[in-house]
Structure 1
Amino acid sequence: MAALTLPETDWRHRAGLGHLTEVLGAAEGLCRFVGGAVRDALLGMPVADLDLATALSPDEVMTRLRAAGIRAVPTGIEHGTITAVLDSGPVEVTTLRRDVSTDGRHATVAFTDDWREDAARRDFTINALYADPATGALFDYFDGLADLEARHVRFIGDPLRRIAEDHLRILRFFRFLARFGDTPDPEGLDACTARARDLMALSRERIRDELLKLLVAHDAVRVVALMLARGILGPVVPEITTAAPLAALAEREARLGAAPDPIRRLAALLPRDPALGDLIGARLKLSNAQRKRLVLALTDGGTADARALAYRVGREAAEDRLLLAATDDAEAAQGWQRLAGWEIPRLPLTGGALVARGLAKGPEVARALRAVEEQWIAEAFPDAARVEAIADAVVRP
């Protein structure tokens, strides 16, 4: 890759970052930017998370940060990670490490001062790039720069060994391929295929997080199709059998200017069965809100009146239905435009107003309120004066 230094980016000048790297001995070569921040900066992409690697021990990092008045949180100190909390946001600081033992889910590590040894335990070459905080000089131990230029996602060392160390690297391989890759590394692809059943040993939470990130990557459709062809998803979500509905959804999202959404895209890949969706949501440990949304997305229902639908099931669920179940693009586009900038109203009537009209408290009021609400929805949410008239007609037909 042509770049020999980290490009100038806004995040390199975040408030407090220069002081942090100075405290951690950047001038003596004791800390470097590492991983995603370096990779994404070289690609001209926005950087969300910022990581520093350091040759200092975790105890020394804590001591230096506290002495400098920088809040230090030992978020993963047993693995050498301390979060430095700056006014401009958190920065994870991790001591250089080497793996002592691994079981596919967890690793026992030992600390080191050898930068190459730290790089060797990382997953892919494009994630093992380091940069000097002061000069931006790059350090590349496994040809990650060339792979980044070629959009080549490649394991460091033997792919089978790297997967044995952490089975999640199978899903990460495909996620990075969907986000950064062009053609898959053949050796890595074959290793992921051979060890796909290892995914069953992982926690559902780790699988969920990787899968949802993968589904919104810009090349998700092609990569999901590749995963299905290679049997990667079978051990964890065997209900997904084709990428065609995801392709159709992605095309509709692009036409309407809708941002890719992981729950919606997961729904596209599943059979239209809300009960099955609920089971899969439970299996993947989705949050209650995500699980409910997945079920609603898989529930049959009309999409002709987008605003009525949004009132009944919520904006997100209505948008999901439009994108997933509208009979054609014209219907989807019309519904999408109807929802744009529209705030879901609240019925301008209470049960008390019906009691004041002479109804007895209890089921009679509830039935009358539902009748008023249904008429209000049918009339496209008229104003309060019209609701009063509907209420009068319901109470005194």
Structure 2
Amino acid sequence: MKLGPQPWLAGKGARAIAAALDVDGGSTRLVGGAVRDSLLGLKVNDIDFATVFEPAEVVARLEGAGLKAVPTGIAHGTITAVANGFYAEVTTLRRDVATDGRHATVAFTADWRADAARRDFTINALYANPVSGEIDDFFGGVDDLAARRVRFIGVALDRIAEDHLRILRFFRFSARFATTIDPDGLAACIARANDLMALSRERVRDELAKLLVTDDPAPTLAVMLDHGILAPVLPEIDRGLIAHLSRVRAGEGAAGVRAGFARRLAALLPVDAALLDDLATRLRLSKVERRRLVLTADRGRSLGEMAYRDGIESAIDRGILSDNKDLPDFIAAWSKPVLPVSGRHLIARGLPPGPEVSRRLGEVEREWIAAGFPADIDPIVSRVLAA
């Protein structure tokens, strides 16, 4: 099998980087996801190169060609090459010297097989010359792609001992690429599930987010929960809510919105704001993610009120989680209204200046929202001022 023509290689920047790093001659090769996704006919988004050149030579070659070299991961041999708006990560071939389940100490090498052996799955250890299309496959990754199988390189337990995050990566890649879960990989993940507790919560969050927004994560998550994989780090996730996650996925499709991490996570959790806030803290969620997750516990208001007060994205989250059939029409029609009165209007109507103005204005706004944002707000104002 050969790699097909690469559209990105037609760009001026890509060609300049390829020439500087001797891609045509094979000293630098495309690696990992770009090869995997291209073979599967998927869009290639990120370009990663592996090279025999050590970082200093990579920099010298790029700068010698008038290109930009950014030392984004110099300790592990990674340089980001930039040319005419095109970006590619270039990493020197490596072998592991020491690992502790979280970090690896590496040494540079010129051995392509040694570099492949330190990677996680066979489908991620594919190298290719994007010019000739020649593929280097040391561990059967091409066959695994054809079989839609995600398989650890070598002994699964050893790969997990090197980096505990590979437990979550195994399921994330299985959800995306596999038709069934590899039994050897599953057995190793079950045996080492408690290793997840040693990971930073940021790393757990990142992998969980990527898993949840795959096209259909429910079957894979069901396997994980049935075998206690997530219990060490996320015991709150409820196996009984897997069907709810599937309904949320369907609701996203009906509403025409992209998969949402916070929304799908909420589908698997009890409707409890305090619990959601605590979990958001543990997972080190961003302020935006935390707010959206916690707000999913408040589902008792109208779509309009939620959108007006909390933003359309949050209203969409709760509409989907509540299986609101009106949501697609609501999204199409929604435009945030502006309250057509202010405190000055109330004062002009005879209300004395002071704290009472703010209180009455709040009452007007609440009634206006409850009435569906009518353009004629005068009856509401009159009623509030007469109270």
User: Is TM (by shorter chain) over 0.5?
Assistant: yes
Q: Find the residue that maps to 1:279 and give its secondary structure.
A: helix
Q: Which residue of 1 aligns with 2:325?
A: 333
Distance 1:341 1:25 in 2: 54
Evaluate the alpha carbon distance shift between residue 362 and residue 94 of structure 1 in structure 2; reply closer, same or farther with a 3 A threshold. Answer: farther
Q: CA separation of 1:362/1:43 partners in 2, compared to 1, >3 Å: closer, same or farther?
A: farther
| Alignment CA distance shift 1:116-1:310 (3 Å) | same
Query: How far apart are the structure 2 equivalents of 1:337 and 1:70?
Result: 50
Offset at residue 24 of structure 1 (A): 0.7
Q: Which residue in the other structure is 1:67 paired with?
A: 64
Q: Cα gap change, 1:87/1:354 in structure 2, threshold over 3 Å: closer, same or farther?
A: farther
Letter of the aligned partner of 1:346 in structure 2?
V
In structure 2, what is the equivalent of residue 377 of structure 1?
Answer: 369
Deviation at 1:33, TM superposition (A): 0.7
Q: Which amino acid aligns with 1:110?
A: A
Residue 356 of structure 2 aligns with which residue? Answer: 364
* Equivalent residue number for residue 289 of structure 2: 290
TM-score w.r.t. the length of structure 1 is 0.92
Looking at structure 1, the residues matched to 145 and 253 of structure 2 have their Cα atoms a distance apart, in angstroms, of 27
Report the CA distance between 1:355 and its aligned residue: 3.4
**Residue 238 of structure 2 aligns with which residue?**
241
Unaligned runs of 5+ in 2: none
1:387 is aligned, of 374, 377, 381, to 377
Aligned to 1:329: none
Contact 2:16–2:83, Cα closer than 8 Å, also in 1: no
Measure the CA separation in 1 of the matches of 2:125 and 2:354.
Answer: 67
State yes or no: 1:36 paired with 2:33. yes
- CA change 1:349–1:64 in 2 (3 A) is farther
Alignment of 1:129-278 (within 5 A): 129-242=126-239, 243-278=242-277
Contact 1:256 1:333 in 2 (8 A): no
> Which piece of structure 1 moves more, 175-184 or 362-371?
362-371
Is contact 1:15–1:88 with CA below 8 Å preserved after alignment?
no
1:351 aligns with 2:353: no
Distance verdict in 2 for CA 1:380–1:353, change over 3 Å: same
| Residue identity in the other structure for 1:362 | G
Distance 2:327 2:250 in 1: 17
- Code of the residue aligned with 2:251 in structure 1: it is R
Q: Which runs of 5+ in 1 are unaligned?
A: 327-331
**Partners of 1:182 and 1:360 in 2: CA distance:** 70
**1: CA distance between counterparts of 2:24 and 2:271?**
59
In structure 2, distance between residues paired with 1:28 and 1:336: 53
Q: Report how far residue 88 of structure 1 moved.
A: 3.2
8 Å contact 2:172–2:210 — kept in the other structure? yes
Deviation at 1:349, TM superposition (A): 2.8
SS at structure 2 position matched to 1:27: coil
d(CA) in 2 for partners of 1:15, 1:215: 36
Scaled by the length of structure 2, the TM-score of the pair is: 0.95
- Distance in 2 of aligned mates of 1:50 and 1:349: 54
Q: 2:305 aligns with which of 308, 318, 328?
A: 308
Count of aligned residue pairs for this structure pair: 385
